[in-house]
Amino acid sequence: MSTYKILITQKIPDIAIQMLKSKGYKVVYPKDNIPISPEQIKQEIAVIDGLISLLSDTIDRSLLEKADNLKVIANYAAGYNNIDVGFARQKGIIVTNTPDILTNATADLAFALLLSIAKRIVEADQFVRAGKFDGWGPLLMLGADVTGKTLGIIGAGRIGQAVGRRSAGFDMNILYVSPTSKPDFEHSTGADKVDLYTLLAQSDYISIHCPLSDATRHLLNRKNFSRIKKGAYLINTSRGAVVEEAALVDFLRNGHLSGAGLDVYEFEPKISEELLTMKNVILLPHIGSATLETRSKMAELAAKNIIRVLETGRAVTPVI
């Protein structure tokens, strides 16, 4: 058995720790819900062979320059914009992620947000709990129709397509923006590939599923918000910085947008004070993949990637 040292920056399901320890690896991990601090990561980075990181961990060039023994970074997420992948590659460090596993959980949540904001579910629940319900009324908590409306999907990767398949059950018209065409998706759902401006102008609901990159940062900026169909709803379960949050607040406040369902934020975990006061906004604490089954499978895959790289030099799910 090898005496490789592995650092896990936050508490994740035990299966990962068990798998790594069964290989004889020394595993450093938090015993409670307090993450390993950035300072401790800096202290450990020079002596560890493997790292299981989360999106909240910044694994940048300055940190990687000190990683003399590091062979693999297993990011506990589908995304990996928290890692300087290019520099890691230069140093011969393999970077992996957890794709596919969280597709259905995240798509379920995105569609739950869509239905909840359209039907004012959270607002209505709070109304009842506050003792304000005194009987049925013809104008009480009127929401918006979903069936037959147009859904615009920004980013038709695995999760975006999964959301589209769910919307087909509501007879929604589907528009999508993607760098490449998705013929199978189009054939199975009737989706149409369009440019961004067309999607913004025609969609009743817009759901964001693109990764965060230099090209997509503030993709929905003030100018593009002005192109959105008046009265539309915005759903974001991707990355907060795809949306210019200050502009989102303004377009919600002036009524151009009817509402928003958000699981991610531009300056996460900080959230705009104005968003916190808006009744037509649902705010979730980044729980897109938060099911017991999904998070356990993510942990298992992260551990498999660490083990595979250390034993063979090849990953199960390398970042390309």
Q: Of 165, 186, 217, 268, which one is the catalytic site residue?
A: 268
Longest pairwise C-alpha distance within the chain:
71
Chain centroid to CA 254? 27
Residue tagged 């009743």 (tokens): 204
Distance CA 194, CA 295 (A): 34
Q: Please give the structure tokens belonging to residue 285.
A: 């604490």
Question: For residue 100, which of 153, 158, 54 has the smallest C-alpha distance?
Answer: 158
- Adjacent-strand bridge partners of 206: 152, 234
The residue annotated as part of the active site, out of 165, 217, 256, 286, is 286
CA distance 94 to 193: 34
Active-site residue among 158, 239, 295, 308? 239
Identity of residue 59: I
Told to judge if 239 belongs to the known catalytic residues of this protein, a careful annotator would answer: yes
Could you tell me which residues come within 8 angstroms of residue 22 by beta carbon, excluding any fewer than 6 positions away? Answer: none
Cβ neighbours of residue 181 under 8 Å, at least 6 residues apart?
193
Task: State yes or no: is 253 an active-site residue.
Answer: no
Q: In 3-state terms, what secondary structure has residue 8?
A: strand
61 catalytically annotated:
no
Catalogue the active-site residues: 239, 268, 286
